[in-house]
Amino acid sequence: MSTALHLAVALDGTGWHPASWRLPSARPAEVFSASYWADLVRLAEAGTLDFVTIEDALGLQTDRLDGPDERTDHVRGRLDAVLIAARVAPLTRHIGLVPTATVTHTEPFHIAKALATLDHVSRGRAGWRVQVSGRAHEAGHFGRRTLPVLDPAAPDREIVADLFAEARDHVEVVRRLWDSWEDDAEIRDAATGRFIDRDKLHHISFDGRYFSVKGPSITPRPPQGQPPVTALAHAEIPYAFAARSADVAYVTPTDAAQARKIVSQLPIPHVFADLVVFLEESEPAARDAHERLDTLDGTAYTSDAAIFTGTPAQLADLLQEWRAAGLTGFRLRPARLPDDLVGITGGLVPELRRRGAFRTAYEAATLRGLLGLSRPANRYAVAEEARVA
Amino acid sequence: MPKQIHLAAHFPGVNNTTVWSDPRAGSHIEFDSFGTLARTAERAKFDFFFLAEGLRLREQGGQIYDLDVVGRPDTFTVLAALAAVTTHLGLAGTINSTFNEPYEVARQFASLDHLSAGRAAWNVVTSWDAFTGENFRRGGFLAESDRYSRATQFLAAARELFDSWPADAIVADKDTGVFLRNGSAGSFRHTDDQFDIAGRFNVPRGPQGRPVILQAGDSEAGREFAAATADAIFSRHGTLVEGQKFYRDVKRRLPAYGRPEDSLKVLPAATFVLGDTDADAHEKAAVVRRQQVSGATAIKLLEQLWNRDLSGYDPDGPLPEIDPDVSGDHIARGRASVRMHRDPIAVAAEWRARAEAEKLSIRDLIIETTNRQTFIGAPDTVATAIDDLVQQDAADGFILVPHVTPGGLDEFADTVVPLLQERGVFRTEYAGPTLRHHLGLEVPA
């Protein structure tokens, strides 16, 4: 079994620590500009990372469970992640672009064509981080349903199951729409005057509990066929969703044993661990950086993912240990941008390369290629061959 | 000083205006095609690039229509990517108010405005048809009569969202630790027949305050909607008499909304064929029209009026003796133009009479009635025609629709634009960075 590992970074605002925006190197006033995102993604690409994810939500950031807060001391506001990815696509050549898009209140038809178009624009580098919204205040932005406030420690099982069942249908519709055009549907046949062979376009005729969608998509099949679908999962119901619907799951173990156990529940090509990282030249310097930010914020930062504080070499040790436990890669969440991204590309990546555990150059032109996933056959074309046989 | 002309480039559409069989014709989905046309438009100092949208593939006679270009990108996604390969050109996208929600559309347009540094425009369209609605979880619920009230309320809700962040909301002072001036930025509540939404919008105010609003409706309700809310109208009245009539009609509606006349630009769609001489251009234009209307296309277009299967007719033969079927559902679906024939039997009689008098086949007749280009001539002839129409208040400019993707604007950019610039009626440099600058529109308070 290969010991090489995959690396992604999760980009969000000025970094994952809420006080990161106050550091001298932070650019808080620029997080709503294109150049800010272009700089970060180019930096990640210079480190030959597999992909970046871009966080998003259908509501304002908040520290409260029951709705928006009135805080003025944290970064608030964000741009649409799919559009950030599209804006950056022509400026990059190799790195995967994986925006977050919520499935709970959105139309699968719109999301399918948006991600297919991102794949066309980036020539095969699009992915999708599927996000389920259980937030009552986000439901209020759409006014189509009401949700109770869910306690993440003990959420109402029935509501969560329902939200994830809807997510499963949503992803199924998106995947069918991506296949609703066969690759060779466009024929431009001058003799008959036909632009397409309409037998190679397919109604998907999805009829489920939450919605029905006829198809076909208005957008031809994306270059990758199926852009990779990814999802963050912390518990049983999301694990089941990821196992069925995703190509890459992001999970949040705290040690190798736990990682091994989670991996056994996810029979999919890739399981990545999420880690918040503070990287410095020495362990005390990293601890000091972490503590200084906590002090600035007036509270100790907590996260759903484990928080790593140390040197690139120590992080490389940890990643290799967890890699041996069955994880195939990692989605690192820089606590500070750009500092910890620089720590990843300038410290961790060279360290892993020295150990023969990470690529030295991009070996594939598409995100599926970087992830070792072949281009899938079209489900409708396959069905046709089967009928003929 | 003469009136200044506004020009936009329409990416060739999924209809028979676009000649995909031309040897120079490129992809309709690869990003390079969009980038190439947008860069040509920017090189020529155009106001904006325009992208249409249709949310269901067209069908005729129960089958997907296969004679025209089929397939389009997602509007927002391709415009955001175009922002990376252009610096000044406005980026206008058509987005439907029926099959979307205000919170989502507002955050997409506000995001596009940030990512393009103030170049976003929204062509607001409405539809109600259950056919398109079959692609959407909330599709097909709107009565035709409700479509403008839906659009009006949708736009009102979106405006509240655009306005929910003050322009100076973000302080981002690292020393004092104040990121937001006010902890309630983005608060909104909007309640009407269509929407009951409240909460916090999550995209700060864009460089243009709100995106530029375009509107294309031609009905009484559509014109009133445009007068109340739009910054520009995408009209189909490109001739002198019709253009002047439309121009006067929409401009006279503005005072009732407290708006000055120049706050709403009238921009008809226009096609063009250029040549070395006028005669050469007319010859080319005739060839293009025959490319646009093949025999098969002529029959399909005739079916759209007759509302019958006419596949047994010879396109080079006479028009059908039978009358159009006005009884049932329309044979063509997912197309706005089929509603234009208000009295099909009368139009058919007119067409038959004309075909007989002028000895026209089905194909000849369709070419004559549907596809005459707006501007045909040598560059100087076309520049003069455009300038005259604008100076005589038949338009404030034009949205040009090339018939070849993506190079169909090159000749216009290289030959007509310099002549308009020489006349002093078209910019030689962009005067400002945003689309509002190009169109001479105020940033909304």
- Best mutation target among A104, A107, A202, A296 (most B Cβ atoms within 10 Å) is A107
Nearest CA in chain B to A72: B180
pLDDT at A384: 58
Residue B347 contacts A, CB cutoff 8 Å: no
Q: Measured between CB atoms, does B357 come within 8 Å of chain A? A: no
Domain annotation covers residue A5? no
Q: Decide if A109 and B66 are in contact by the 8 Å CB cutoff.
A: no
CB-based contact A58 B134, cutoff 8 Å: no
How far is the C-alpha of A247 from the C-alpha of B37, rounded, in Å?
36
Nearest to B433 by CA among B4, B83, B6, B21: B83
- Give the tens place of pLDDT for each residue, A352-384: 999 999 999 999 999 999 999 999 999 999 665
Tell me, yes or no, whether A164 lies in a domain. Answer: yes
HEC letters along chain A: CCCCCEEEEEECCCCCCCCHHHCCCCCHHHCCCHHHHHHHHHHHHHCCCCEEEECCCCCCCCCCCCCCCCCCCCCCCCCCHHHHHHHHHHHCCCCEEEEEEECCCCCHHHHHHHHHHHHHHCCCCECEEEECCCCHHHHHCCCCCCCCCCCCCCCCHHHHHHHHHHHHHHHHHHHHHHCCECCCCEEEECCCCEEECHHHECCCCEECCCCEECCCCCCCCCCCCCCCEEEECCCHHHHHHHHHHCCEEEECCCCHHHHHHHHHCCCCCEEEEEEEEEECCCHHHHHHHHHHHHHHHCCCCCCCCEEEEECHHHHHHHHHHHHHCCCCEEEEEECCCCHHHHHHHHHHHHHHHHCCCCCCCCCCCCHHHHCCCCCCCCHHHHHHHHHHC
Distance CA A86, CA A243 (A): 28
* Confidence tier at A389 by pLDDT (50, 70, 90): very low
B148 is in an annotated binding site: yes
Domain count, chain A: 1
Q: Identify which of A108, A188, A193 has the shortest CB distance to residue B294.
A: A193
The mean pLDDT value for A141-156 works out to 88
The domain of A272 spans 13-388
Average pLDDT (B252-273) is 96
A368 touches A301 (CB < 8 A): no
pLDDT for the residue B337 = 57
Place of tokens 């076909």: A216
Our CA-based measurement puts residue A207 at a distance from the nearest CA of chain B, in whole angstroms, of 10
User: What pLDDT sits at residue B127?
Assistant: 80
Mean pLDDT of B346-358: 95
- The three-point CA angle B204-B209-B211 to 5° equals 105
Interface membership of B81 toward A (CB under 8 Å) = yes
Asked if residues B199 and B184 have their Cβ atoms less than 8 Å apart, the reply is no
* pLDDT value, residue B148: 80
Q: What's the confidence (pLDDT) of residue A15?
A: 98
Model confidence at B345: pLDDT above 80: yes
pLDDT digits (tens, 9 = 90+) for B42-81: 999 999 999 999 999 999 999 999 999 999 999 999 999 9
Across A69-83, A375-389, B32-46, B103-117, least confident range = A375-389
Q: A114 and B74 in contact by Cβ < 8 A?
A: yes
pLDDT value, residue B327: 83
Residues of chain B with CATH 3.20.20.30: 6-274+373-439
A384 or A106: whose pLDDT is higher?
A106
| Residue A295 confidence (pLDDT) | 97
CATH code for the domain of A76? 3.20.20.30
Hey, is the C-beta of A204 within 8 angstroms of any chain B C-beta?
no
Q: Do A83 and B55 touch (CB under 8 A)?
A: no
Q: Which of residues 67-86 of A touch B (CB under 8 A)?
A: 67-80, 82-84, 86
* Inter-chain Cβ pairs, chain A and chain B, closer than 8 A: 235
Sequence-separated (6 or more) residues with CB below 8 Å from residue B52? B10, B11, B13, B14, B72, B94, B123
**Confidence label for A23 from pLDDT (cuts 50, 70 and 90):** very high
More confident residue, B139 or A199: A199
Q: Does A208 touch chain B (CB under 8 A)?
A: no
* Residue that wins the pLDDT comparison between B436 and B332: B436
- Confirm or reject CATH 1.10.287.1080 for domain B6-274+373-439, answering yes or no: no
Q: Do A60 and B68 touch (CB under 8 A)?
A: no
Cβ-based contacts of B81 with chain A (< 8 Å):
86-87, 89-90, 121
3-state DSSP assignment of residue B94 = strand
Percentage of chain A beyond pLDDT 70 is: 97
A16: closest CA among A301, A311, A318?
A: A301
User: B11-43 in b/e burial notation, b at 16+ Cβ within 10 A?
Assistant: bbbbbbbbbbeeeebbbbbbbebbbbbbbbbbe
Nearest CB partner across the interface for A216, out of B57, B104, B181: B57
Judged by CB atoms closer than 8 Å, whether chains meet at B72 and A120 is answered as no
- pLDDT score of B339 more than 60: no
Considering only alpha carbons, which residue of chain B is nearest residue A87?
Answer: B81
Summarised one tens digit per residue, pLDDT across range A288-342 is: 999 999 999 999 999 999 999 999 999 999 999 999 999 999 999 999 999 999 9
A206 interfaces chain B, CB cutoff of 8 Å: no
User: How far is A95 from A364, CA to CA, in rounded Å?
Assistant: 10
**A155 is written with which tokens?**
């959420």
Predicted local distance difference test score (pLDDT) of residue B411: 98
Chain B interface test: which of A91, A120, A169, A206 (most B C-beta within 10 Å)? A120
Which residue's structure tokens are 């199951």?
Answer: A161
Percent of chain B residues topping a pLDDT of 70 = 98
pLDDT exceeds 80 at position A386: no
The shortest C-alpha distance from A257 to chain B (Å) reads 39
**What pLDDT score does B371 carry?**
72
Q: End-to-end distance of chain A based on CA atoms, in angstroms?
A: 37
Report pLDDT for A71: 95
Vertex A211: Cα angle to A207 and A216 (nearest 5): 65
**Residue B338 confidence (pLDDT) above 60:** no
CB neighbours of B10 closer than 8 A, spacing ≥ 6?
B50, B52, B269, B399, B400, B401, B402
What percentage of chain B exceeds 90 in pLDDT?
Answer: 86
pLDDT at B341 over 80: no
Assess contact for A343 and A277: CB atoms under 8 A: yes
Of B71, B100, B108, Cβ closest to residue A83? B108
What pLDDT is stored for residue A1 in this prediction? 43
pLDDT digits (tens, 9 = 90+) for B203-231: 999 999 999 999 997 889 889 999 999 99
Q: Is the per-residue pLDDT at A269 higher than 90?
A: yes
Which among B77, B116, B197 has the least Cβ separation from residue A114? B77
Of B35, B73, B112, the CB nearest to A219: B73
Of A41-50, A302-311, B64-73, B128-137, the one with minimum mean pLDDT is B128-137
Distance from CA of B193 to the nearest CA of A (A): 12
Average pLDDT, chain A: 96
Q: Which of A24, A210, A219 is facing B137, going by the closest CB pair?
A: A210
> CA-to-CA distance for B59 and B74, rounded, in angstroms?
20
Chain B residues touching A110 at Cβ < 8 A: 74, 100
Does residue B23 sit at the A interface (CB-CB below 8 Å)? no
Q: What is the pLDDT of residue B126?
A: 85
What's the pLDDT score for residue B130? 87
CB of B101 within 8 Å of any CB in chain A? yes
Q: Which residue has the higher pLDDT, B330 or A194?
A: A194
The predicted-structure confidence for B386-418, as pLDDT tens digits, reads as follows 999 999 999 999 999 999 999 999 999 999 999
Residue B263 confidence (pLDDT) above 80: yes
pLDDT at residue A244 tops 90:
yes
How much is the pLDDT for B251?
A: 97
B142 vs A191: CA distance, rounded Å: 41
